[in-house]
Amino acid sequence: MDLEPGATAEVTTTVGPDRTAHAMGNHGVHVFATPFVIGLLEDAAAAVLRPHLPPGAGTVGTMVEMKHLAATPVGMKARAKATLLETDGKRFLFAVEAWDEKDKIAEGRHERFVVPDLQKFLARAMGKKAGG
């Protein structure tokens, strides 16, 4: 893929009740849950790669290092940015950051790998259920 370090992408979301710590079982904590913050960071990194993928290919996350710095209440917008740091064949390492409307809420690193044939990858994974 023709992608150089420094390439970036951003994604945004609005925090809904279904994406809170409360919704994940931490009752009474109605703020953006850490797993969903991680998902937003992963989405930003995938957005850097997506336009450069050949037909039938996809990407998967393989590593996340993240500090969750501030809480974001329901109804606020959150924005994540991924910046490509390095690439090695099918491996891509990103610096990731996220903000809500007031604060920086997360920072860290995220690694993704390109899967050349996503359907084959998924079929192999689903084969685990069938005992394959």
List active site positions: 34, 42, 68
CA 66 to chain centre: 11
Half-sphere exposure of 29 (CA within 13 A, CB side): 13
Residue 65: CB atoms within 10 Å: 10
The answer for residues whose C-beta is within 8 angstroms of residue 75's C-beta and 6 or more apart is 14, 15
d(CA 32, CA 129): 32
